[in-house]
Structure 1
Amino acid sequence: MEHTVTVYRRSVLAAGALMLGGCAAIGSSIGPSANARAARTELSPTGRLRAAINFGNPILATRGSGGEPQGVSVDLAREAARRLDLPVELVQFNSAGSVVEAVKAGRVDMAFVAIDPVRGADMDYTAPYVIIEGAYLVRNASPLRRNEEVDRTGTRVVVGRGSAYDLFLTRELKAATLVRASTSPAVTDMFLAQDLDVAAGVRQQLEADARRVGGVRLLPGRFMVIEQAMGVPKGRTAAQVWLSAYIEEMKRSGFVAEALRRHAIEGAAVAPPRTS
């Protein structure tokens, strides 16, 4: 009798465990799918996912030989649309400032931008997926040798209007004067044409410019670290939550690292996993 009771108790416990496990599995499947449905609605008010692609940052996107967008941000946008079963529209821009204005105006549903507190007033971010460096470019004959020497009275620093570097240097420079080019790719040419003292921007862009124009050099190190994230218009909470989980999976799975490798991007690192 005692043996029978013991067997019965074990059977009940096992059945209970299976039932709880089944409930947990059902709960986990309902949660993500429900959240994905809500995110899908918030990310496609026009019936398609309008993703802002910024050619002002060559780390994120460039134009292929036929003019088509390519790069890590393009790959991430297309994969997100595929997972949400949405058609994707790649809305193209030449500067970060234009992207931010489009987000604020509701002309795009998702953007790839540098995290900045000023932009945070109109946009909600994921954690970063890529980290890149901001650098200074000077003429070979310039007396400037270190990043710390740039912020001096009389030094004129040119930067792309509305870029992460513009926002950062607007807060940080106390003595130097900022001069703004229309886009980040136009910075070096303006630096030379107007005989300015320093050009500021993405290290990779400035390195390419240095090879193109000659007679210039980058200051050692970096003046800032730029965290590139995905952003959505303020208040689209379900979209921000879904994209946050999505970007963590893309980092963890190697998708971001493989995209950087495939597009031959050097000097950019995959951001570490989110810790909270």
Structure 2
Amino acid sequence: MHLTPHIRSAFTPTGKLRASINLGNPILANKDASGAPCGVSVDLARALAKELDAELELVVFDAAGKSVEAVAAEQADFGFFAIDPVRGEQIAFTDAYVLIEGFYLVKNDSPLRSNDEVDVAGHRVVVGKGSAYDLYLTRTLQNATILRAPTSPAVVDFFLKEGAEVAAGVKQQLEHDAAQLGGLRLLNERFMVIRQAMGTPKSRGPEAAAFLSAFVEKMKANGFVAGALQRHGIIGASVAPGREAA
């Protein structure tokens, strides 16, 4: 899509392009040795800034909910989120650029062996507050109780502290925590596929939303997203299919 002055100004009302970066999902963003944000979403943010010929400002958060709120409140001009209808009320999403699996984790001595055993009265499922898992499981769990940890990386510690029955989150984060802490295991299969997309406030208008969508499709098609996943050593996430393939 052709860049116009109107589109550029829609993305940069403060004169800078402000990217909302969520460090709560290590597949998308983390910190390098110097403490600076890095990762797939940071690479895409820099690429978008180059596309818009704008100065980039990273607005960093430790949880998905905070990152979403910043864009919805227009304290940032765009961000990186799991597609969800609740978030979509205020944010215009692109198609997904990365697919991530959500899994359940339990203690080794738990009687739970499969996902269909989770949604039972008396079971407590720990999620990161405001995360894609929180939003999804809030809609889908009928009997289990949801407990909310402050952030997604804090889920397993919160799960152990509370003595809960189940933790839910990004497969890779749960696997890492299980390996570090011991005595934990993942259940047999994913309970959801998270479609990670870019998004901008709906108030920025349809042209800005269309430009962002076209940008994501280009970054998938030209290998940029795949290269970023490889460069940052991300295992377990896959590039989402292009719009036509989907």
With normalisation by structure 2, the TM-score equals: 0.97
1:139 corresponding residue in structure 2:
107
Structure 2 SS opposite 1:241: helix
Structure 2 SS opposite 1:32: coil
2:2 corresponding residue in structure 1:
32
Residue 142 of structure 2 corresponds to residue 174 of structure 1: yes
Give the drift of 1:220. 1.5
Residue 95 of structure 2 corresponds to residue 112 of structure 1: no
Residue 202 of structure 2 corresponds to residue 213 of structure 1: no
2:157 corresponding residue in structure 1:
189
Q: Deviations over 1:161-216 (max 9, x none)?
A: 00000000000000000000000000000111111100000001101100111000
Q: Deviations over 1:53-111 (max 9, x none)?
A: 10000110001111011100000000100111100001100001001111121100000
Q: Which has more radius of gyration? A: 1
Give the drift of 1:40. 1.0
Among all aligned residue pairs of Structure 1 and Structure 2, give the percentage whose two residues are the same amino acid: 59
Question: 2:225 and 2:113 mapped to 1: Cα distance?
Answer: 34
2:96 corresponding residue in structure 1:
128
Question: 1:239 and 1:187 mapped to 2: Cα distance?
Answer: 35
**Cα RMSD between the aligned structures?**
1.0
The amino acid across from 2:211 in the alignment is W
Give the drift of 1:246. 0.7
2:242 corresponding residue in structure 1:
273
2:194 corresponding residue in structure 1:
226
- Runs of 5+ unmatched residues, structure 1: 1-30
Question: 2:207 and 2:61 mapped to 1: Cα distance?
Answer: 26
1:48 corresponding residue in structure 2:
16
2:50 corresponding residue in structure 1:
82
Question: 2:74 and 2:13 mapped to 1: Cα distance?
Answer: 10
Question: 1:151 and 1:123 mapped to 2: Cα distance?
Answer: 30
Question: 1:33 and 1:164 mapped to 2: Cα distance?
Answer: 32
Give the drift of 1:235. 2.6
Give the drift of 1:258. 0.4
The amino acid across from 1:151 in the alignment is D
The amino acid across from 2:168 in the alignment is A
Question: 1:148 and 1:122 mapped to 2: Cα distance?
Answer: 33
The amino acid across from 1:32 in the alignment is H
Question: 1:138 and 1:118 mapped to 2: Cα distance?
Answer: 28
Q: Alignment partner for residue 253 of structure 1, among 222, 225, 230?
A: 222
The amino acid across from 2:74 in the alignment is G
2:117 corresponding residue in structure 1:
149
Question: 1:233 and 1:203 mapped to 2: Cα distance?
Answer: 29
Question: 1:190 and 1:248 mapped to 2: Cα distance?
Answer: 37
Aligned pair count reads 244
Question: 2:100 and 2:46 mapped to 1: Cα distance?
Answer: 22
The amino acid across from 1:194 in the alignment is E
